[in-house]
Structure 1
Amino acid sequence: MSTAAVLICALCLDALLGEPRWLWDRVPHPAVLMGRFVGFLDQRFNTGRNKRRNGILCTIALVIIGGALGYLLSTAGPLVEIIVAAMLLAQKSLVQHVAAVADGLRMSLREGQRMVARIVSRDTSVMDETLVARAALESAAENLSDGVIAPAFWFLIAGLPGLVVYKLINTADSMIGYRTPRHEAFGWAAARLDDVLNLIPARLTAALLALPARCFDFAGIRADAGRHRSPNAGWPEAALSRALGVALAGPRAYDGQMQDFPYVNPDGRSILTPVDIDAGIAMLWKAWAGFLALCVLLVLM
């Protein structure tokens, strides 16, 4: 069974089942276990005068351990590969979390704020309806890349070892890859490697979002992506903003402090509603279907 065929099955299994609560309420999700391991490395080795060296060595260890674990699991056969890959993809759960924000907003602003707080780290209590919807769409675009397209891409490139390594490094980046006094040195290697691993997938995600909407303004997407603080996250956000014709990003508050981030697609519509979140969810599925079609083409070649 080819790698692309295995991935097709995994993508469909994830889209069908997502993350069943009856299972993950009883046993830890693999992503949770990855987070615990990264947390252990942070507590054990993020000390002393050589934090950057320790962080580099820990990042190398994550790559070796992830590659070895992925290889061992792959020797169990295609069925195990399909199940493990499906567990490490997040299309349905992403859609469910984003849809919950739209449903919450339809009930009340407070409920929308509560739902969006589950998927973004910024201050939500001061958000109006537009800011809630905007945050949900930004999270949807970024997590489509990080949680679906990038892990699927690395599965195509390097099988289950590639997928497990990507998820470990992406988990590490989300936990220690911040420019804070504690993590700037220790998390440097994980953050830089995560940037490299997402270089192609982020741009592929942008194309998968833009093309179904017949949005061919790639120069505008590239320009807006360059304004983002991340070298990769701006690409899917810029593509989704143009696909929907809305303005994303802009000023937002973290820990009580307003930060003046530039707008993505500043000429887009500035007033957003739950309907825009619904449209964003439709784009998530179109992008997923586009990637699935690419996998089918690889099988037929």
Structure 2
Amino acid sequence: MSAALLLPALLLDAALGEPKWLWDKYPHPAVLMGRAVGLADRWLNKGENRRQKGVAAMVILGLCAWTLGALIAVVPDFGLLEIICAAMLLAQKSLVDHVRAVADALRQSLPAGRRAVAMIVGRDTKNLDAPAISRAAIESAAENLSDGVIAPAFWFLILGLPGLMLYKITNTADSMIGHRTPKYEQFGWAAARFDDLLNWVPSRITAALIAISHLNFDPAPILRDAPLHRSPNAGWPEAAMAVVLNTSLSGPRSYDGKMQDFPWVWPEGGRTPTPDTIDAACSALWRAWGLMLLAVAVLASI
């Protein structure tokens, strides 16, 4: 049943993305989730026992998201509301649009490229050269294919809309409070660890989809480089993307004015990606999405 609902949701998201006319008038569900996380942060992230308070916050947020998903799922409308909600919480078209915007901006000028990539990455961007801008956009494409498309689809398949809602509130919380900073080291611990857990399988599925959709069946480079990444999950889609584009990813970068010497993923690849390489990454996103769509269609037909 979940596959039969996911199939039209994937197609609806791919066709419409995030219509500006709609989300200019009403808050996107992800925005509402962000507000809920922000409220929990303001109320609970203070005083003593912040790790325990962070665990409590995630339990409360997760239960609320699961319950809302379960209530929507029982509405007697032949699954229409579930399809619409799932489509709103998938992000294939919007991801491709945001990544492609970096390539278009970089073709105009270096400052325009920096401004565009700053909208989708968290690293320092003011001094990035053109290859570093391209690399950042490609890395964001790979990681967010997992976080924004494959993982939500996976949890919808496994647990229906409640599972998708639980995943999205967790991923939203991780992006907001799951940081190793003095403010969030303790309070955001539960969000970060739960997000790692929920993304463990989808990130590896994403790597497989990227590789197989490019007829790249040699897992050795991905298995070698993915564990080198600072994230237990992001390294898998990044390693696969690096191999199929023959472009080195990750590597040194600056956060909050401090240069960090991260290892390269697929160091054998080129070190000077261009806007054309970003375009190739966008094509890779659609190829992996198409392979997933085919798999979901097969499941729906069983």
Same fold (TM over 0.5): yes
Residue in structure 2 matched with residue 219 of structure 1 by the alignment: 220
In 2, the alpha carbon distance for the partners of 1:270 and 1:229 equals: 20
Correspondence 1:48-59 to 2 at 5 A:
48-59=47-58
Find out whether 1:229 has 2:235 as its counterpart: no
Amino acid at match of 2:133: V
In 2, the alpha carbon distance for the partners of 1:48 and 1:123 equals: 31
Residue in structure 2 matched with residue 81 of structure 1 by the alignment: 82
Residue in structure 2 matched with residue 244 of structure 1 by the alignment: 245
In 1, the alpha carbon distance for the partners of 2:163 and 2:228 equals: 30
SS at structure 2 position matched to 1:198: helix
Find out whether 1:280 has 2:281 as its counterpart: yes
Residue in structure 2 matched with residue 25 of structure 1 by the alignment: 24
In 2, the alpha carbon distance for the partners of 1:89 and 1:300 equals: 22
In 2, the alpha carbon distance for the partners of 1:40 and 1:299 equals: 39
CA deviation after TM superposition for structure 1 residue 88, in Å? 0.3
Structure 1: give runs of 5+ residues left out of the alignment: none
Residue in structure 1 matched with residue 254 of structure 2 by the alignment: 253
Residue in structure 2 matched with residue 123 of structure 1 by the alignment: 124
In 2, the alpha carbon distance for the partners of 1:177 and 1:223 equals: 27
CA deviation after TM superposition for structure 1 residue 214, in Å? 2.0
Deviation track 1:204-237 (CA, whole Å, cap 9, x = no partner) reads 0000001122222312212211111110000000
Residue in structure 2 matched with residue 193 of structure 1 by the alignment: 194
Residue in structure 1 matched with residue 175 of structure 2 by the alignment: 174
Structure 2: give runs of 5+ residues left out of the alignment: none
CA deviation after TM superposition for structure 1 residue 151, in Å? 0.3
What TM-score does the superposition give when structure 2 sets the normalisation length? 0.98
Find out whether 1:35 has 2:34 as its counterpart: yes
Find out whether 1:267 has 2:274 as its counterpart: no
SS at structure 2 position matched to 1:47: coil
Which is worse superposed, 214-223 or 16-25? 214-223
Deviation track 1:40-79 (CA, whole Å, cap 9, x = no partner) reads 1011001111101111111111221111000011112311
In 2, the alpha carbon distance for the partners of 1:18 and 1:80 equals: 17
Deviation track 1:131-154 (CA, whole Å, cap 9, x = no partner) reads 000000000000000000000000
Residue in structure 2 matched with residue 67 of structure 1 by the alignment: 66
Residue in structure 1 matched with residue 295 of structure 2 by the alignment: 294
In 2, the alpha carbon distance for the partners of 1:212 and 1:4 equals: 20
Amino acid at match of 1:289: G
CA deviation after TM superposition for structure 1 residue 92, in Å? 0.4
In 1, the alpha carbon distance for the partners of 2:157 and 2:217 equals: 26
CA deviation after TM superposition for structure 1 residue 108, in Å? 0.9
CA deviation after TM superposition for structure 1 residue 3, in Å? 1.1
In 2, the alpha carbon distance for the partners of 1:268 and 1:297 equals: 35
In 2, the alpha carbon distance for the partners of 1:222 and 1:44 equals: 42
What TM-score does the superposition give when structure 1 sets the normalisation length? 0.98
Residue in structure 1 matched with residue 156 of structure 2 by the alignment: 155
CA deviation after TM superposition for structure 1 residue 188, in Å? 0.7
In 2, the alpha carbon distance for the partners of 1:58 and 1:36 equals: 13
In 1, the alpha carbon distance for the partners of 2:38 and 2:223 equals: 35
In 1, the alpha carbon distance for the partners of 2:18 and 2:174 equals: 22
Deviation track 1:129-185 (CA, whole Å, cap 9, x = no partner) reads 100000000000000000000000000000000000000000001111111111111
Residue in structure 2 matched with residue 90 of structure 1 by the alignment: 91
Residue in structure 1 matched with residue 45 of structure 2 by the alignment: 46
CA deviation after TM superposition for structure 1 residue 300, in Å? 1.8
In 1, the alpha carbon distance for the partners of 2:180 and 2:99 equals: 27
Amino acid at match of 1:83: I
Aligned length: 300
Identical aligned pairs, as a percentage? 59
In 2, the alpha carbon distance for the partners of 1:58 and 1:125 equals: 35
Amino acid at match of 1:97: H
SS at structure 1 position matched to 2:100: helix
CA deviation after TM superposition for structure 1 residue 291, in Å? 0.7
Residue in structure 1 matched with residue 137 of structure 2 by the alignment: 136
